[in-house]
Amino acid sequence: MKSLIFVSTVCLSTMSFAAPSYCELGRVSESHMRLANYYNSQAASSFSVNCSNKYRIRFNSRNLQDSSGNSFVNNGMVKLKTRMTVSGAMENIWNVPTEQGAGRNDYVVAVRLVERVTSTTPAGKYKDTVFVNMVF
């Protein structure tokens, strides 16, 4: 049985025009994080944010279960549990905007399969989407 598991990363931003400023998101290492089909397989993507002023950033996922990063990938109605972490310029907290200082900040989003794939797990593409929202 072969399964291909995708976790996509989507970056969104919102800009407020209170004062002239800039904010760049770049150096994205992976736009699709691919997990193998075995327990504890991992995938990660990193990126940098460079802003002239403070900004707020929020990490979320289509299938997010809680603020600790528990989530799942799914293939239709079939779900496999995952655990996501964000590290770098902030603590691992999901779906909560956190304020970051001006300058360059690096982030790593990682996902780990925390449910065993068994012989009865249907083959297919299991997906989740990670969202990175920024307000600056």
- Domain housing 127: 4-135
> Distance between CA atoms of 81 and 72, rounded to whole angstroms?
4
Residue 21 — pLDDT band, cuts 50, 70, 90?
Answer: confident
Share the mean pLDDT of the chain: 89
pLDDT at 18 over 80: no
Q: What is the CATH number of the domain that holds 129?
A: 2.60.40
74-100 confidence digits (pLDDT tens):
999 999 999 999 999 888 999 999 999
> Distance between CA atoms of 2 and 6, rounded to whole angstroms?
13
How many domains is the chain built from? 1
